[in-house]
A and B are shown apart, each in its own frame.
Chain A
Amino acid sequence: MTQKIVIADDEPNLVIPLEYMLKREGYEVTIARDGQEALDAIARVRPQLVLLDVMMPRKSGFDVCQALRADEANRELRILLLTAKGRDDDVAKGLALGADAYVIKPFSPKELVAKVRELLEGAA
């Protein structure tokens, strides 16, 4: 079964390469452009992993994270936080809210793919 990933980020120019490389790795990718779209997409697609940008319109990555973890249905969902600020308290907050891992922008595609694979292997 193909594993499904939702990318939630409001920067189209970042989403394009992310989508490209994850598809190349064989994942099925869905795009969300803000926090609310992300929640809708996750409920619809039921992915194994979500790439979550922290700074998004409407609902921030933190809000989405909290909402996801509040729902028992998402227990198996892996959350990978994309944070632009390398601030320790952002990372700590994200992990406290239930994110499984984080990467700090600007990141290398290889690094990101490795992290995604690692998280999904743990899930399998």
Chain B
Amino acid sequence: MNTLAGPLVIAAAFAYLLLLAGIATLADRRAAQGRSVIGNAWVYTLSLGVYCTAWTYFGSAGRAATSGVWFLPIYLGPTLAMVLAWVVVRKMIRISKTYRITSIADFIASRYGKSPSLAALVTLITVVGIVPYIALQLKALAGGYALLTTPVGAAALPAAHWWHDSTLYVALALAGFTIVFGARRLDSAERHEGMVAAIAFESVVKLLAFLVVGAYVAYGLFDGLADLAARVRAAPALAPLLRLEQGGRFAYEQWFALIGLSMLSTIFLPRQFQMMVVENVDERHVKRAAWAFPLYLLLINLFVLPIAFGGLLIFGAGRMDPDGFVLSLPLAHGQPVLALVAYIGGMSAATGMVIVETIAVSTMVCNDLLMPWLLRTRRFGALAAGDLTHTLLAIRRGAIVGVMLLGYLYFRLAGEAYALVSIGLISFAAVAQFAPAMLGGIYWKGGTKLGAQVGLVAGFALWIYTLLLPSFVKSGWLAASLLSEGPWGVDLLKPERLFGMGGLDSLTHSLFWSLLANAGGYVVASLVRRPSGQEASQALLFVDIFERSVVRRPVFWRGRARVPDLLKLAGRFLGAARAQQLIDEHPQSGAEPGVADARLVQLVETQLAGAIGSASARVMVAAVVEEEPLALDDVMRMLEESSQLRALDRLKDDFMASMSHELRTPLTAIRAVTELMRDDAQMPAAQRAAFLDIVVTETERLGRLVNQVLDMAKIESGHGEWHTDDVDLRELLAHAGQTTAAMFKERGATLQLRLPDALPTLRTDRDRLLQVLLNLLSNATKFVPREGGRVELRLRADNAGVTVEVQDNGPGVPADQQALIFEKFHQGGDAANRPQGTGLGLPISRRIVEHFGGRLWLRSEPGQGACFAFFLPWAGAAEASSRHTRHEGAAA
């Protein structure tokens, strides 16, 4: 059999890496120019192709050669997963984008109350589960290299010292690449355009390479697929491979376990989460990927069986490693160029996985393991009093190199061991443990931190015991008796037949126990203890993410922070310029200068979360904020407020309906009387006059409606006209009383004014305030009893401002109506007075009072009458801050 020269293969490999770097650089440059290449659903879809690793590229043919169609479930799972992607993945994307979540560890920790211990736990599981998987990729690179360059029969793996091992240098080159395109700068969004473009390119390369080799085997070495199939059926050893039952019973439980497992892996493998969720730039891309990614998988699997059977037919079973068929078939038939292309394809599969997985895992290690620990040590705090961005970047880069070297170390140590060869599915099973906490976290508000911890620990422990440990035994690292007899000879504890459960393959068995314990522990422990306030608020933010993006986000934060403190904190992790920009873009609405409002605090925390993980961000922000602990009751109250917000939102939807009702009612009356007059020339003059009166009043009503709607719109959009003046409130209230006197008289009601003897003037808009008073008084006349109605207009003043109250002796406002009556077009009870109201009076009044920094409210016990009151501060809202500084100036 032919071989290729080692240096040639290495040169080709490095040339390929350079090409990759070129593409990434180009993409980064275009992104900087604002012409992003990844704002494209096709690129997104291709980047998901990182799912197909060297394990797919080489291993699928290997699996197919030993178990026929059983390579398929691994690719059917993702297809099913993508069906659900629009629902599940889109929700994860929305959550991650909103709260700047950059890894699975961060996602889970953030959901369960920003718990650092949970973040560390998830990171630990990931490292244990994924680092061997990285090793497997390195092994594939090394194995492929050996196959290309060493004659058959020679040692399969380079026995050379590690410093002669080209795999080490490939690993280091990959680490370099990952650093350059994954951790060049600190980006709080943790997005890497160049890297994504490079990975998408790799997906194209491996697909094309595999298709070319497949086509060569099917049409070059055989007479097409039909010829191949006929020969397989003719070979008694191969024919059973084509059937699901493999000559025995169809192990449907294993089939579905594999499909289910790969479904979960499609979403929860760190590299998949990175590409699918973190690097996503547009939710709509998920829609394309939902069908295009399964299509990609279909294409890359098209020639798996032909290559496997071709290899078996040509080499005979057992003579060549089926994992190497992709390389050995072209090589054995004197096609070195094709073999090299095949190797580059395999390399693209391996490197893509290694790069993305390393970025994802190192982000977790850095943000969820190292940072929380470093931030707690005092020496680090003192050391890094200033700008931390460089330190942070160095840690991130160190983590990348560390993860890569860990993978390499495992590769060197494990060699041909079963523990490495079979790691693909073992890794899948490890990340599947995230499913209960993740899926429960976004669909079930009841899931708690305790539940997630119990579930993850139980699932992880059983995964180790039933899958990882046996793989060590099969590698010869542990005594075989552990499997055959159980620990201490206890039969029930046999790792692969736990509690006597037999009849399942080891993977299905492990999945069954670990996921059962995991999901069970999660649910039970969640139900055992009530969530803390922090947990409950996060649960709400995650589960209701789609509702929350419509309504304003509620602020689950109580406490105060000084702006300079926040600026300093943000500066340490984001850089001073970015921090200043952040604060500048967010003008403070609060009256007190220098004190950050809750929204700014939250904004800073979210930005920090992107840079150092949500758990650490929480710790850092808490350090500069005098926070009051958030009790569960507070959250419940906020929850209620937010559901009220939602109710108000629905009311806004009713705006058009109400508006059309308000317009149609007078129009109906006008149309009726005018048509009657038109059609009846003989109508008596008195009747005609009465009808014309209706036209006049209804037209007036329409005019009033139009004015008030315009008024409301102006005030709401901030374009209202205001004429501020020194207003004598005693005089104004008296004037309002006189204006409404006729109305009161007509209703047989009395109005009493209770005014203080003297009062300083108030800076406000006289006409607008009169409008408020007239509205409240005329409302009161409508609701007092027809005879014996009493209304009191009271004015009080203190140091802060003035309070005006309009108290009536009507039926009062039922509790369930009290919030609604301030809504547009909502009208209270009595029929007879309807034509007067437009349903806009109270909302407008409230806006006017709020414009001057005051508030308007209602106090009412049913049966005790209603009391509408408003408070106006001596200084209007607009002047509050300037007045504040004047006071300070006076004090100095």
Contacts and interface: CB of A to CB of B under 8 A. Distances in A.
Interface of A: 10-14, 16-18, 20-21, 33-34, 55-58, 84-85, 87, 105-110
B660 A13 contact: no
B731 interface: no
Contact of A20 (B668, B687, B835): B687
B698 interface: yes
Interface string B695-714: 00110000000000000000
Given A14-B669, A17-B694, A84 B664 contact: yes
A16 B835 contact: no
B829 A11 contact: no
Nearest to A57: B831
A21 B831 CA distance: 23
The 4 A-B residue pairs whose C-beta atoms are closest, nearest first, are: A10-B831, A106-B668, A105-B668, A17-B672
Contacts of A34: 831
A14 B660 CA distance: 17
6 contacts: A13-B666, A13-B698, A17-B676, A55-B661, A57-B829, A107-B668
B229 interface: no
A58 B672 CA distance: 26
B243 interface: no
A20 B657 CA distance: 29
B830 interface: yes
Contacts of B299: none
B671 interface: yes
Contacts of A109: 672, 675-676, 679
B834 A11 contact: yes
Nearest to A90: B657
Given A11-B668, A108-B672, A108-B675, 19 more contacts: A10-B834, A12-B835, A13-B666, A13-B697, A13-B835, A16-B694, A17-B691, A17-B694, A34-B831, A57-B829, A84-B665, A84-B668, A85-B661, A107-B668, A107-B672, A108-B671, A109-B675, A109-B676, A110-B679
B384 to A, nearest CB: 63
B690 interface: yes
A105 B676 contact: no
B667 interface: yes
A107 B667 CA distance: 9
Contacts of A17: 669, 672-673, 676, 691, 694
A105 B698 contact: no
Contacts of A16: 673, 690-691, 694
Interface in B638-676: 657, 660-661, 664-673, 675-676
Nearest to B832: A33
Interface in B686-739: 687, 690-691, 694, 697-698
Given A85-B657, A85-B660, A85-B661, A13 B669 contact: yes
Interface of B: 657, 660-661, 664-673, 675-676, 679, 687, 690-691, 694, 697-698, 829-832, 834-835
Contacts of A11: 665, 668-669, 834-835
A105 B667 CA distance: 8
For the complex, would chain B's binding face be called helix, strand, loop or mixed by DSSP majority?
Answer: helix
A117 to B, nearest CB: 16
Contacts of B666: 13
B675 A110 contact: yes
B663 to A, nearest CB: 9
Contacts of B675: 108-110
Contacts of A57: 829-831
Contacts of B831: 10, 33-34, 56-58
A106 B665 CA distance: 7
A33 B831 CA distance: 7
A14 B665 contact: yes
Contacts of B671: 106-108
Contacts of A10: 831-832, 834
A105 B665 contact: yes
A20 B698 CA distance: 18
Contacts of B690: 16
Given A57-B830, A85-B660, A14 B676 contact: no
Nearest to A112: B672
A13 B666 CA distance: 8
Among A17, A18, A21, A84, chain B packs the most CB atoms within 10 A around the CB of A17
Nearest to A35: B831
A122 to B, nearest CB: 24
A14 B829 contact: no
Among A14, A34, A57, chain B packs the most CB atoms within 10 A around the CB of A14
A10 B835 CA distance: 9
A21 to B, nearest CB: 6
A21 B687 CA distance: 12
A18 B424 CA distance: 81
B664 A21 contact: no
Contacts of A18: 672
A16 B690 CA distance: 9
Contacts of A85: 657, 660-661
Nearest to A11: B665
Nearest to A108: B675
B864 to A, nearest CB: 21
B676 A21 contact: yes
A13 B831 CA distance: 12
Contacts of B832: 10, 12, 33
B838 to A, nearest CB: 14
A85 B676 CA distance: 23
Given A20-B687, A21-B676, A84 B661 contact: yes
A14 to B, nearest CB: 4
A110 B667 CA distance: 16
A20 B676 contact: yes
Nearest to B698: A13
Contacts of B664: 84, 105-106
A5 to B, nearest CB: 15
B84 to A, nearest CB: 33
B668 to A, nearest CB: 4
Contacts of A14: 665, 668-669, 672
Contacts of B679: 109-110
Among B661, B665, B667, chain A packs the most CB atoms within 10 A around the CB of B665
B817 to A, nearest CB: 13
A104 B805 CA distance: 42
A10 B669 CA distance: 12
Contacts of B829: 57-58
Nearest to A103: B668
B667 to A, nearest CB: 5
A55 B661 CA distance: 10
Contacts of B673: 16-17
Nearest to A21: B676
A20 B687 CA distance: 9
A16 B661 CA distance: 19
B657 A106 contact: no
A108 B690 CA distance: 19
A104 to B, nearest CB: 9
Nearest to A56: B831
Contacts of B672: 14, 17-18, 21, 106-109
Among A13, A33, A55, A57, chain B packs the most CB atoms within 10 A around the CB of A13
Contacts of A56: 831
A54 B259 CA distance: 57
A17 B677 CA distance: 10
Nearest to B691: A17
Nearest to B673: A17
A33 B665 CA distance: 15
Nearest to A32: B831
A74 to B, nearest CB: 23
A62 B835 CA distance: 22
A13 B698 CA distance: 8
Nearest to B697: A13
A85 B825 CA distance: 14
A53 to B, nearest CB: 9
Contacts of B834: 10-11
B676 A13 contact: no
A106 B694 contact: no
